[in-house]
Amino acid sequence: MDSPQAAPPGPPDAHPDAPGTPDDRRPAVPQPRVDDEPYLRVDDLRVRFDTADGVVRAVDGVSFTVRRGRTLGIVGESGSGKSVTSLAVLGLHDPRRSTVTGRITVGGRQLVGLPEDRIRRLRGRDVAMIFQDPLSALHPYYTVGRQIAEAYRVHHPRAGRRAARTRAVDMLDRVGIPQPARRYDQYPHEFSGGMRQRAMIAMALVNDPALIIADEPTTALDVTVQAQILDLLADLQAEFHTAIVLITHDLGVVAQVTDDVLVMYAGRVVEQGSATQVLRRAQHPYTWGLLSSVPSLHGDPDADLVPIPGNPPSLIHLPPGCAFHPRCRYAGDRSRAEVPRLVPTGADGHLVACHLPPDERTRLAAGALSERRLP
């Protein structure tokens, strides 16, 4: 692991012109209705994998909630446990190779420990997933329309072929695919990357799920298509009143479409709050590092990017105390000995797991202008 002193991430300032926060959402996007109660509730989720090298603690005590009409962004470097968290919500971990504990409640139903056939009934109908790579979800041998129609019939067994086709054409139309009736009979390879992503969104929405989990849904797309897909998701959220969990590396995407943000490091949540709190008033040194390592959306395009030094730790041999301490310029003795708990910062709903005293954290977060490296 690199020396913690090498090019450390500095704290960003809380400049009022910090770009890309939810206040900057395009006004054209209709505002969704938001429920009072969470639809998805995850409490103390832990996922471990037994491997030949040892036990991988991929997710270690993660808790969050999402209401219908809201979008939660989950961010963190590669290997921080974002996908493992979302796969647990879908009940997709193989019980022979993994141990999942905690509580996952979807629409009031507790999922952890349910038999596979009951989880399968929820999947696709109440909870749907959009993956980064549509080709992994779309079978190359079947037409796009047929696959969407079949996804509909799995949860509507009484629907006839004609009704399923009508529904699939309607969904293709709603996700903005031109000439949907003709496109219905085409194969995935006849679609462009952006259209395939739209088709996968159509498939995810065909059963009108209450919750969508989108794992890096736009990472493979160019910037223009990415913006279109994000707009589409926002429109569909307003129309279908969906709760969305959006997993992404891209803080620009987080700024554009999420309401709340969860920052994960080495399988744990290190900071959590509204998008405005996390992007404008970040309190955790790791979040400062993430913010400093991405290009500005609106600011100085020539500003230096500052990568976080070192690498994420092995999840088999986590560093003691705060798992971020080998990379953190502010680490003290307590950081090396004691795992920091996620505690309120004082701002409503804003939580942080760091031993720095609150006033010092706030002072550092406000940051010297000379260290300003916001996205």
Ligand X SMILES: Nc1ncnc2c1ncn2[C@@H]1O[C@H](COP(=O)(O)OP(=O)(O)OP(=O)(O)O)[C@@H](O)[C@H]1O
By CB under 6 A, residue 340 contacts ligand SF4: yes
Among ligand SF4, ligand X, Mg ion, none, what does residue 285 contact (CB within 5–8 Å per kind)? ligand SF4
Residue 179 structure tokens: 């000439």
In the complex, the smallest distance separating the C-beta of residue 97 from Mg ion, rounded to whole angstroms, is 17
Identity of the residue, 83 or 287, whose beta carbon is nearer to Mg ion in the bound complex: 83
Pairing label, strands 268-274, 260-265: antiparallel
By CB under 6 A, residue 335 contacts ligand SF4: yes
Contact 59, 53 (CB under 8 A): no
Provide the residue type at 292 as one letter: S
Contact 336, 320 (CB under 8 A): yes
Region of 13-21, 75-83, 234-242, 290-298 interacting with ligand X (CB under 6 A): 75-83
Using CA atoms of 341, 343, 349, 352 in order, give the dihedral in degrees to the nearest 10: -60
Contact 4, 308 (CB under 8 A): no
By CB under 6 A, residue 80 contacts ligand SF4: no
Across the beta sheet with 54-67, the strand order is 54-67, 38-51, 98-106, 109-110
SS3 22: helix
By CB under 6 A, residue 285 contacts ligand SF4: yes
Among ligand SF4, ligand X, Mg ion, none, what does residue 76 contact (CB within 5–8 Å per kind)? ligand X
Binding mask 292-331 for ligand SF4 (x = CB under 6 A): ------------------------------x-xx--x-xx
Residue 186 structure tokens: 């085409």
Binding mask 78-97 for ligand X (x = CB under 6 A): xxxxxxx------------x
How far apart, in Å, do the first and last CA atoms of the chain sit? 26
By CB under 6 A, residue 356 contacts ligand SF4: yes
By CB under 6 A, residue 51 contacts ligand X: yes
Burial class (CB in 10 A: 0-12, 13-18, 19+), 348: exposed
Can you name the residues that pair with 73 across neighbouring β-strands? 246, 261
Report the alpha-carbon distance of residue 168 to residue 336 in Å, rounded. Answer: 55
Identity of the residue, 143 or 258, whose beta carbon is nearer to ligand X in the bound complex: 258
Residue whose entry in the numeric block shows the structure tokens 């260290």: 371
By CB under 5 A, residue 83 contacts Mg ion: yes
Binding mask 287-326 for ligand X (x = CB under 6 A): ----------------------------x-----------
Instruction: Give the residue, chosen from 4, 21, 29, 49, that forms a contact with ligand X under the rule CB under 6 A.
Output: 49
Region of 82-90, 97-105, 143-151, 248-256 interacting with Mg ion (CB under 5 A): 82-90
By CB under 6 A, residue 248 contacts ligand X: no
Pairing label, strands 71-75, 243-247: parallel
Site for ligand X in 97-126 (CB under 6 A): 97
In the complex, the smallest distance separating the C-beta of residue 86 from ligand X, rounded to whole angstroms, is 8
In the complex, the smallest distance separating the C-beta of residue 215 from Mg ion, rounded to whole angstroms, is 6
Residue 77 structure tokens: 């470097």
The sign of the torsion formed by the CA atoms of 181, 186, 189, 190 equals: negative
Pairing label, strands 109-110, 211-215: unpaired
Provide the residue type at 314 as one letter: S
In the complex, the smallest distance separating the C-beta of residue 82 from Mg ion, rounded to whole angstroms, is 5
By CB under 5 A, residue 218 contacts Mg ion: no
Binding mask 31-70 for Mg ion (x = CB under 5 A): ----------------------------------------
Among ligand X, Mg ion, ligand SF4, none, what does residue 84 contact (CB within 5–8 Å per kind)? ligand X
The sign of the torsion formed by the CA atoms of 17, 18, 19, 25 equals: negative
Pairing label, strands 71-75, 260-265: parallel
Among Mg ion, ligand SF4, ligand X, none, what does residue 56 contact (CB within 5–8 Å per kind)? ligand X
- Binding interface with Mg ion (CB under 5 A): 83
- Binding interface with ligand SF4 (CB under 6 A): 284-285, 322, 324-325, 328, 330-331, 335, 340, 354-356
